[in-house]
Amino acid sequence: MDFSLSEEQEMMQALARDFMKDEFPEKVLRAVAAGDEDAAAGLWQKIVEMNLTGLSVPEEYGGLGDMVDLCTVLEEMGKACFISPFFTSVVLGAGAISIAGEEAQKAELLPAVAEGKIKVTLALCEERASSTPDDVNLKAVKDGDGFVLNGAKTFVPDASVADYIITAARTGPADTPESGITLFLVPAGAVTRQPMAIISGEGMSVVTYDSVRLGADAVLGPEGKGWQCLDIVLQKANVGRCATMCGLARKALDLTLEYAKERIAFGHPIGAFQSIQHRCADMLMDVEGSRFLTYHAAWKLASGQPAAREAAIAKAWVSSAARRVMHSAHQAHGAIGFSEDHILHFYTRMTRACEFSFGDPDYHYNELVKLTS
């Protein structure tokens, strides 16, 4: 099985790499992480101009590429510790519409997402902040031809800049945790959005639904069968997060190698000591192993094959591997790696946020047990 990138994918990866180098240096990273809205808006417009917002959107709706193409870009974004609504709108929003939407909804919304004219996010987590069906308790009550939504969602990514919020709500009895869940396309202006502060610097919000009235055309996919659609969306989201962590870990390794060559101790660069060399070798093994598992899962998703097992394996392994890489990077850097003057702490924070997005390693190990039993 050959997981080497095609010529087109290598060109796309190089394009993303050059964009990150030119448009998202450390100065811009610090500004966006500190909440500079002008810097974030300018970056989004440049991403749109490069047609990256159409990645993984079906070609008939103005998109290009597949899940593997998307992962090559997300990996480069991880290397830059990129903070943007890109992942939210392209992977979560467009992914949910592509899988669950009716033809009319796809024709209306997907071209707008691909062109960067609208941003779409996904509201799933609630009180327990888990990405599991038993945590979906927000009520959607039938009202004539439409529904009325009441409740709240937590950790909704980029809700403050989204135009639409795809919301998972209960519309029927839960014979099983997965049943009775329906997806709704909610205009962002119909809800209250309260920003949350998280360690990665990404935009998160608590979204409150206070008697939000929606018409029947706001239902996304079959009523009561929303989780079947979300299951595929979350597989793609987890693989996308893995690609981001691959990039984060690779950059942490590069920073460590560079520091090991420059830092002098006892008259020698610390890279001359076996203990540092062994740590760097272990880091490289984790990075390369993570890339293999990530692209294997991405290839299965891109080819339309069942990929629940591969996505769970990738998310469990890559999350743990990236954490080990960050730990070793900090051990090698010493105190300087923990200071705000150094860039490494941004990568550690983003890695931890990615690790817990859509299920931590323990969650995915439990999912693997279910899939293999």
Residue 34 included in any domain: yes
Compute the distance between CA of residue 199 and CA of residue 124 in angstroms, rounded to an integer: 20
- The answer to whether 356 and 364 are in contact (CB under 8 A) is no
Same domain, 241 and 291: yes
Residue 367 predicted with pLDDT over 90:
yes
- Give the CATH number of the domain where residue 57 resides: 1.10.540.10
Q: Locate 310 and state its tokens.
A: 């591969």
pLDDT at 122: 98
Compute the distance between CA of residue 242 and CA of residue 238 in angstroms, rounded to an integer: 6
Residue 170 included in any domain: yes
Same domain, 139 and 110: no
Same domain, 163 and 72: no
Residues in the chain: 373
Question: Which pLDDT tens digit goes with each residue over 169-191?
Answer: 999 887 888 999 999 999 999 99
Compute the distance between CA of residue 285 and CA of residue 325 in angstroms, rounded to an integer: 10
Residue 351 included in any domain: yes
Same domain, 364 and 261: yes
Q: Rounding to the nearest 10 degrees, give the CA dihedral for residues 318, 324, 329, 332.
A: -160
Number of structural domains the chain divides into: 3
pLDDT at 2: 63
Compute the distance between CA of residue 186 and CA of residue 195 in angstroms, rounded to an integer: 18
Residue 312 included in any domain: yes
Question: Which pLDDT tens digit goes with each residue over 350-359?
Answer: 999 999 999 9
Compute the distance between CA of residue 261 and CA of residue 284 in angstroms, rounded to an integer: 16
pLDDT at 264: 87
Q: Which of 192, 224, 256 is the last residue before a domain boundary?
A: 224
Closest CA to 363 of 128, 183, 81: 128
Same domain, 70 and 57: yes
Same domain, 235 and 356: yes
Same domain, 244 and 353: yes
Same domain, 309 and 248: yes
pLDDT at 1: 56
The upper half-sphere exposure of residue 256, i.e. CA atoms within 13 Å in the direction of its Cβ, equals: 27
- Give the CATH number of the domain where residue 177 resides: 2.40.110.10
What is the mean pLDDT of the segment spanning 211-225? 95
Residue with tokens 């490494």: 344
Q: Which of 189, 224, 259 is the last residue before a domain boundary?
A: 224
Same domain, 365 and 233: yes
Burial of 133 (0-12, 13-18, 19+ CB in 10 A): buried
Q: Which of 60, 83, 114 is the last residue before a domain boundary?
A: 114
Question: Which pLDDT tens digit goes with each residue over 6-17?
Answer: 888 899 999 999
Same domain, 74 and 169: no
Question: Which pLDDT tens digit goes with each residue over 68-100?
Answer: 999 999 999 999 999 999 999 999 999 999 999
Residue 335 included in any domain: yes
What is the mean pLDDT of the segment spanning 320-340? 94
Q: What are phi and psi of 120, to 5 degrees?
A: -125, 135
Same domain, 256 and 160: no
Residue 1 included in any domain: no
Residue 273 predicted with pLDDT over 70:
yes
Per-residue CA distances from 42 to 36, 54, 89, 121 (Å): 10, 18, 16, 20
Same domain, 169 and 200: yes
Q: Is 340 helix (H, G, I), strand (E, B) or coil?
A: coil
Domain that holds residue 310: 228-372
Q: Locate 294 and state its tokens.
A: 């990530």
- The answer to whether 286 and 324 are in contact (CB under 8 A) is yes
pLDDT at 156: 97
What is the mean pLDDT of the segment spanning 101-109? 96
